[in-house]
Amino acid sequence: MPAASNAAVLDRFHSAVNSGDPEVIAKAVDELVAPDLLFHAPVPMGVTGAEALKRVWEVLLRAFPDLHVAVEETITEGDKVVCRNTVTGTHRGEYRGLPPTGKSVVYGEIFIFRFAGGRITELRGVVDVLTQLRQLGALPS
């Protein structure tokens, strides 16, 4: 599949994520992500594959119901798409054991998506959790 088509799939995924609706996100994951997704992000959830990705978004949206992912830069090459994003949200629910603070967060992340057959088959991510936790007051500045 051409790199431009892979980028279009990723655009559809980000649109679903930014809907803030867990059902829309779950449907997009079912449609756009291989069930046996290789998920290399630092989020141990006790599940694997596409189900792990759904779980991550459930946790994030419970904690940050207004979460928004702004894609700042996209690089496509072969079967991979790399995205550098800025994430914003307001802490309104429990997150990593921290009760809601009402504080806003702004942090960066970079993800590498590998595609096969028009679906996301592998995902590697680096999320600036340190900045996120500092903004929530869970760690000193």
Q: From the CB of residue 85, how many other CB atoms can be counted at a distance below 10 Å? A: 20
pLDDT digits 0-9 by tens, 28-42: 999 999 999 998 876
- Does pLDDT of 87 surpass 70? yes
Which is more confidently placed, 48 or 90?
A: 90
Query: What residue spans define the domains of the chain?
Result: 3-135
* Domain 3-135 bears CATH identifier 2.30.30.30: no
